[in-house]
Amino acid sequence: MADLRELRRVAIVPAYNEEECIAGVVDELRAFDDGLAIVVVDDGSSDRTADVARARGAVVLRLPYNLGIGGCVQTGFRYADERGYDVAVRVDGDGQHDASQLGAVLAPVLAGEADICVGSRYHERSGYQSSVTRRLGIRILAATVSALTRQRLTDPTSGFQALNGKAIRLFAADYPHDYPEVEALVLLIRHKLRVQEVSVEMRPRAGGRSSIRNFGSVYYMVKVLLALFVGSFRRDIVPLEDR
Amino acid sequence: MTPWTISIAAAIASLILLLVVFELIRSRRLRERYALLWLLTGLVLLVLSLWRGGLNTMADWAGVETYPPAVLFAVGTLFILAVLLHYSTVISKLSDQNSILAQRLALLEQQLEEGAPSRPAGTSRRRGEV
């Protein structure tokens, strides 16, 4: 079991107009592990998210315009890959992810049992469960992804993740922009990376507007399922630069 | 009534469209969000070419008496218009993003030559602040 303290580790924090929450998120991460490099990726916020994060001592990557969560998080992965980090965690800038639970999410990765570990709200039922339509949408997605990957995955939309170097390198080169977390799972397994889920509790948003993706919307579901369907036919990754 | 040859030809053409779009998405040369309208077009045309009764009915509604396949062309054309319009908005957005990149690049290069300004590039201000 690798010792976290001996590894170069980074937290990727995507944030879009989270000036109210971001300071808290950064502080929680530092409280969890003071050796953790904290990288806030500002997805073209129009508020002071970047300033607040910088003032809190985080490295800030400021995207010139909004790329969406996929592009935003991939920026963080590129940073992590360029600087050779061994382990990365992703904690969303809206405060839904509780940094104190990172230990559980990191454990399988540090033990070498998984290349990526996802904190799932539905592994066991507890804590914030989100609205009924969202849950139904997530259940449908979970069933689809589980079928495609032949593995029991309960929360395919969760961004609360820990990754090792192999996963970082894959995502730095190729990360879905449209339905990131869901498509990424299929991508990972295509590339023979090992995924595990652990149980976590998430909080409702601490402040600000909710992110746009509406898992209860039929339109969204059609688009994701289409993306998953087509994605299941892909073989190799095609890095953004080579398309 | 629509000649069988037309129904078959239209169906094959629609299928080819759907397959081409599918392959473009699969090989990452076309993003799903821009492909949706194409897929809808292909599906609608496929359905209309195979469902000859439906095509006839639509022709009646439209007042097209002598040549029902005209409806196929009309529907196809309308969808293509929609796709073109959609892509125009996509291009507009890309242009805007391009401008932003160009501007930031110019500012970055200047920074590299002469050192960073007191206020880092891209730092936000509240509206009304100077």
Global pTM reads: 0.85
Could you give the angle at which helices A132-149 and A180-190 cross, rounded to 10 degrees? 10
DSSP assignments along B62-83, one per residue: HT--S-THHHHHHHHHHHHHHH
pLDDT in tens, A26-74: 999 999 998 999 999 999 999 999 999 999 999 999 999 999 999 999 9
User: pLDDT tier at A206 (50, 70, 90 boundaries)?
Assistant: low
Instruction: State chain A's mean pLDDT as an integer.
Output: 88
pLDDT score at A241: 64
* Touching B: A residues 37-66, CB under 8 Å: 45-51, 54, 62, 64-65
Distances (CA, A) of A220 to A31, A37, A226: 37, 34, 10
When CB atoms are compared, the residue of A48, A64, A227 closest to B104 is A64
Q: What would the two tokens of residue A219 be?
A: 């339109």
B96 to chain A: closest CA residue: A65
Look at residues A89, A90, A96 and name the one whose alpha carbon lies nearest to residue A21: A96
**Residues of chain B with C-beta less than 8 angstroms from the C-beta of A54:** 120
Contact B39 A226 (CB under 8 A): yes
- Asked if B119 has any chain A CB less than 8 Å from its own CB, the reply is no
Query: What confidence score (pLDDT) does residue A214 get?
Result: 59
CB contact under 8 A, B27 and A238: yes
Which domains, from first to last, does chain A contain?
7-234 (3.90.550.10)
